[in-house]
Structure 1
Amino acid sequence: MEKDFQSAPKRFWQTIRRLRRGKRGSIQAVYSKGGTLLTSTEEVIGRWKEHFEELLNPTTPSMVETELEDEGRQTSISWRKSLR
């Protein structure tokens, strides 16, 4: 197979794709916030849902926002209509 890569890269990658066909990597387990290993599909999906909800709806300010506030700089973005 290594010879194929050096002499015929197209054939090499076709072989790799053919061997991988139908195989998909998936996450079988994740850790909960408390450190417990979650293995059931429902628990894993629930944890991912919780994770992304926290990312999209943060309850605490980010480090950048905190640092800007400490420096006395404005952290919110405001829209201003410009007249030209």
Structure 2
Amino acid sequence: MATVQFIQTTPQELQLQITEGVKIQLENFLKHFTPKQPNEYLTRQEVAKMLSVDISTVHNYCKRKILQPKGIGGRVYFLRSEVEASLKPLNI
């Protein structure tokens, strides 16, 4: 086992230097880190309720390519983020 000696450094100074080094590394990491939010999938009924429309309107939005449905088996889902992105600002 090797022994490390720090000359002209007190334990408190060493601790402070280590703490500062870790702090800098953590700040650099957090600058470039963006957490990935999990995808939230909604059913047709949930989209209709979210938009306060009838389920037939959701179907029409799909036919008109306003909404982009996803499917697995016989089930249809919509990404919440895509539904929210389909909303456009009004020029009133």
- In terms of fraction of residues, the more strand-rich structure is 2
| TM-score (normalised: structure 2) | 0.27
Of structures 1 and 2, the one with the larger relative CO (CA 8 A, separation 6+) is: 2
Q: Which structure has the bigger radius of gyration?
A: 2
